[in-house]
Amino acid sequence: MKLYLMRHGAYELENIHNGNPLSEQGKTDVTRMADFLSSNPIAVSNIFHSEKKRALQTAELISRGFNSKHPLQLHEGLNPNDDIATLMDSVLEWDEDILIVGHLPYLSKLASKLIVNDEYKEILSFKTGTLACLERIEQTRFSINWVLEPSLFDY
């Protein structure tokens, strides 16, 4: 089972009244990554995103690089400071590949818990627009398969 974790793209900090949407740079970064992935789309069962606008926009753009059985889905409990314990139980039961689009510090804590069983030991640095692939190696443990950052697609 593979778990894909993606931090939303760069967003407009000053545009809080509009839900902090993706900036033009954020849209460009995520679109370039989706274009790269679309030549060989990654199959997943679901693409989950938080309720925040920037996560939804990122999920919509990156979904072109994925082949999902189901449409994008809002998933409760993926906001920046939510407790990862709620999702951990689900992750450990999943047997199909999943993409989660979310935020810091949530994604960092989730990855650390899955990799070294310590959510407070930062293992992965999720810059905006970063996509990481974790792979289950034991029932409760994952390893880092690969990581893509937007800077790889600057041209």
- Residue range 116-149, pLDDT digits in tens: 999 999 999 999 999 999 999 998 999 999 999 9
pLDDT in tens, 5-43: 999 999 998 766 677 899 999 999 999 999 999 999 999
For the whole model, what pTM was predicted? 0.96
Relative orientation angle of helices 106-116 and 85-93, to the nearest 10 degrees:
50
Strand order, beta sheet including 98-102? 73-74, 46-49, 98-102, 2-7, 131-138, 141-148
110 is written with which tokens? 């989730």
Q: Which CATH fold topology does 2-153 show?
A: Rossmann fold (3.40.50)
Burial 23-35 (b: 16+ CB within 10 A, else e): beebbbbbbbbbe
